[in-house]
Amino acid sequence: MKRRFSLILLTLCFLGRGCAEGADAPSQIVPPQPSTVKPITIVKTQMAETPLPPTQPQKVDFGSCFKFFKMDDQKLFYLTLASVNANQFKINEIQSKSGYVLFSVKQMQFLASIINIDSKNSMLKITPCNNVYFFPPGIVQNMFKYIELNINTPVEKLAIY
């Protein structure tokens, strides 16, 4: 008990001494200096927004996720499979009768749907499976570009042995 009392007394003396020194210390008043800082003029300029590269995730409009092609749905289905393979995406599931290709890019899954319009026209729609349209737009753009570049490539039946 005596030890605690002396510790508390010592602490109060130390704090009191610091306060007393602070109170007795002469205070210095600094006279105001003339301002040497010039005022800043803000000029607003319009900067052209540079689009993000297609490899950066960004908000993608649904209108850029489908495209019409002048070919039948069977040829578009084969070119879609070739495009998924050429872009080195992983094919998860193929439903040839209904025209669906489920593929994944990194951790995102996409559904490529081939829709028959008539005998000479069809549509390819590529949508994210989780319905979140925040992904690199290059995924869809590269798929469409591959199909456009190979639109005149004939589809041939291979002999099965």
| Residue range 117-151, pLDDT digits in tens | 998 999 999 999 999 999 999 999 999 999 999 99
| Residue range 95-115, pLDDT digits in tens | 988 899 999 998 899 999 999
116 part of a folded domain? yes
80 part of a folded domain? yes
User: Quick one: pLDDT at residue 56?
Assistant: 82
Contact (CB, 8 A) for 131 and 72: no
Contact (CB, 8 A) for 96 and 80: no
Contact (CB, 8 A) for 143 and 125: no
2 part of a folded domain? no
157 part of a folded domain? no
143 part of a folded domain? yes
Segment 3-17 mean pLDDT:
56
Residue 97's domain is classified under what CATH number? 3.30.310.80
130 part of a folded domain? yes
Distance (Å, whole) CA 97 – CA 34: 84
Q: Which of 12-26, 38-52, 62-76 has the lowest mean pLDDT?
A: 12-26
User: Quick one: pLDDT at residue 21?
Assistant: 47
At CA 125, angle to CA 121 and CA 131, rounded to 5?
A: 160
Instruction: Say how many C-beta atoms besides its own lie within 10 A of residue 141's C-beta.
Output: 15
Distance (Å, whole) CA 144 – CA 82: 11
| Residue range 42-71, pLDDT digits in tens | 555 454 455 666 678 889 999 999 999 999
> Domain residues for 97?
58-149
Contact (CB, 8 A) for 103 and 109: yes
12 part of a folded domain? no
- Cα 73 vs. chain centroid, distance in angstroms? 32
158 part of a folded domain? no
* Number of structural domains found in the chain: 1
Contact (CB, 8 A) for 147 and 86: no
Q: In a 10 Å sphere around its CB, with 0-12 CB exposed, 13-18 middle and 19+ buried, how is residue 127 labelled? A: middle
